[in-house]
Structures are given as structure tokens and as C-alpha cells.
Amino acid sequence: MTSLSAKDKEAVKTFWAKVSSKATDIGADALGRMLVVYPQTKTYFSHWKDLSPGSAPVKKHGQTVMGGVADAVSKIDNLTAGLLNLSELHAFTLRVDPANFKILSHNILVVLATMFPNDFTPEVHVAMDKFLAALALALSEKYR
């Protein structure tokens, strides 16, 4: 859609600095929620023993995913170049339908709202929404 303005990037970096210490919890909660609220996403994890929120595989994978988001924050000035390898991974190996990026983004935003109700203002919300959308776009780069 629209590219990130300097103001958006500032808002993302400032907010991320506040919440990054909770990255693992955020990732685990968002992933767990996604599997419950959007059951079709479970198809990508049929090899896991336990898909319930708070389970070990969900926690571990939530941490992996948020690690990617943290990395993206540091590469916010050129997401397409910065996320090239991750895009190839998602496109050729994992083959995640890109529609799911939007679903996970929504759940990340919901978790941020529950965990940081006072900091997750509408202004921060729009910056994070744009950032996650830009991240998803960069991840989709290598698909076709």
C-alpha cells in the first residue's frame, strides 16, 4: 500500500524499544491466538504434538517469529533487501500462503493492545500496522 514515512519509522522504533524485552511473550501469545481464532492456520503445524496456546512448540516458534520482526525493525530502511533470505525461506521451503501474513499481523496487534494498552495509541497502531504490512510485502517478494 503506502511506504513508511520518517514519522512511521520513528514511531515503530520508539514503540519497539519499549516492548522488545517482551518479544518472546508477544510472539508466543500472537501465534497461540492465531491457531485458536483462525484454525485453518493449523495446517502449517501438523507436525507439532501440541498446538495449544502456551505449549512448548508454540512458545519456541513464537520466539523465532518475533526474532524476525525484531530483525525487520533494525532493517526498517530497506525491508526488501534485508528480508531477502527470509522471503526465499517462506516462498520456496515453507510455502506459506501470503494471506496468512495479514492474519498473524492482526494477532500481533491484538497482543500489543492487551499487553500495552496505554502505549498502543491509535498513532502507534497505524505505524505498526503499516510496518507489519510492509514486512509482509517484503516477505512475499520472492514468491513469484
Partner 1 sequence: MVEWTEQERSIITSIFGNLDYNDVGPKALSRCLIVYPWTQRYFASFGNLYNAEAIKTNPNIAAHGTKATYAELSVLHSEKLHVDPDNFKLLADCLTIVIAAKMGSAFSPEVQATFQKFLAVVVSALGRQYH
Q: Is 114 near partner 1 (CB under 8 A)?
A: yes
Contacts of 30 (CB under 8 A, 6+ apart): 62, 65, 66, 104, 107, 108, 110, 111
Judge residue 56's burial from the number of C-beta atoms within 10 Å of its C-beta, 0-12 exposed, 13-18 middle, 19 or more buried: exposed
Which residue's CB is nearer to partner 1, number 33 or number 90? Answer: 33
Least distance between partner 1 and beta carbon 44 (Å): 17
Least distance between partner 1 and beta carbon 36 (Å): 4
Helix (H) or strand (E) holding 111: helix 99-115
Least distance between partner 1 and beta carbon 48 (Å): 16
What one-letter code names the amino acid at 25?
Answer: D
DSSP codes of every residue in 46-60: TT-S--STT-HHHHH
Binding mask 74-103 for partner 1 (x = CB under 8 A): ------------------------------
Residue numbers of the site for partner 1 (CB under 8 A)? 32-33, 35-37, 53, 106, 109-111, 113-115, 117, 120, 122-123, 125-126, 129
